[in-house]
Amino acid sequence: MATGSPVWKKKSPSINPKKVFPKSEFYVEDVSEGETKWVVMQIKEKLYSGKSEFQKIVVFDTYDYGRMMVIDDSIQTAESDEYIYHEVMVHPPLLMHPNPKRVLIIGGGDGGSLEETLKHKYLDSVIQSELDKAVIEASRKYLSTISKGAFDDPRAVVNTSEGRKFLTESKEKFDVILLDLTDPTDHSKLLYTKEFYELAVTKLTPGGIISLHLSAWAPFPKVTGAIYKTLKSVFPYVHVFSNLVPSYGMELAFCYASKDLDVTKFSPELFSKRLDERLGDSKKDLKWLDGDFLQTTACFVPKQLREAFNCVDRISTDDNPLSFDDYYIWDVDADQ
């Protein structure tokens, strides 16, 4: 591990739900420090299970959340509430930018961020760089209700390449960069470092914004805190807030950051006006976000989340990149 042993040791619960619930009928995920909180979902049908060059990918159909993709024993998206995550990830940064024309999505292989981005009628192009083509293939086949044909939109350019490599080699600049990533682990941790954010700055146009999530801040505050500290070392303007995504079983911290646009004090009136102008008829398809978003969901930062910003004194670097298991260890079951 980059920083030595974890700061806590796993408890030994008398009952482990993964040993109790039949794997063929239930999906069980540890979502806490030390195996004390679990997400348990009854499976209607297992649709796909495979291991790509990079990770394990499973798609279930569940009774409560519809079809769901799980990567390396971590829920990534679910039909029932994916719109919450994707609408929050995509629309605010595109509405804050004065005139977005080109967008880059790094990650997001389920297609949800791409589908939301393409609702903006004045965009010229959207490039998506997803490391694992197996995620895209599984999403196209089993989660088409999330991508809704976005992969075939003529404005979309989808390639399977490592996001940092793509950004380094790209000669283009982007108005908005959406980092739709897994938590910082083996394949994504170099997309959370100071050097990567400095690279992103060089690829943004004036007024450019990046958007990302900072993990589940309540159970994993040290991950959120380290990402926040790293962002603040590069971006003068960083706006973080909390939003519940029910299928994850916890709230995520979301973030918008910019070098030269104050995303912390953006006009709610202008936000609402642009929402009407830029989405047009597509606005009716939004299920979560509306013109009051900045005054409601995005304006409240719980005290505990603010405390998480300073709970660790760490900036993630290429030489010492933040990894989730520097602080927390998932209970991974290779046969789940």
Q: Where are the domains of the chain?
A: 17-76, 82-308
3-state secondary structure of 325: helix
Q: Write down the catalytic residue from 180, 183, 326, 331.
A: 180
- 93 sits in which H/E element: helix 82-96
What is the C-alpha to C-alpha distance for residues 48 and 85, in angstroms, rounded to an integer?
Answer: 23
CA distances 238 to 105, 202, 226, 263, Å, are 19, 17, 14, 7
Q: Which residues of the chain have pLDDT under 70?
A: 1-14, 33-35, 330-336
Superfamily of domain 17-76: Spermidine synthase, tetramerisation domain (2.30.140.10)
Going by C-alpha positions, the residue among 261, 237, 242 that lies closest to residue 253 is 242
What is the C-alpha to C-alpha distance for residues 301 and 239, in angstroms, rounded to an integer?
Answer: 10
Percent pLDDT > 70 in the chain is 93
pLDDT in the model for residue 223: 96
pLDDT in the model for residue 39: 84
CATH assignment, 82-308: 3.40.50.150
180 is known as an active-site residue:
yes
pLDDT in tens, 158-203: 999 999 999 999 999 999 999 999 999 888 999 999 999 999 999 9
pLDDT in the model for residue 333: 56
Classify each residue of 125-154 as buried b or exposed e, where b means 16 or more C-beta atoms within 10 Å of its C-beta. Answer: ebbbbbbbbbbbbbbbebbeebbbebbebe
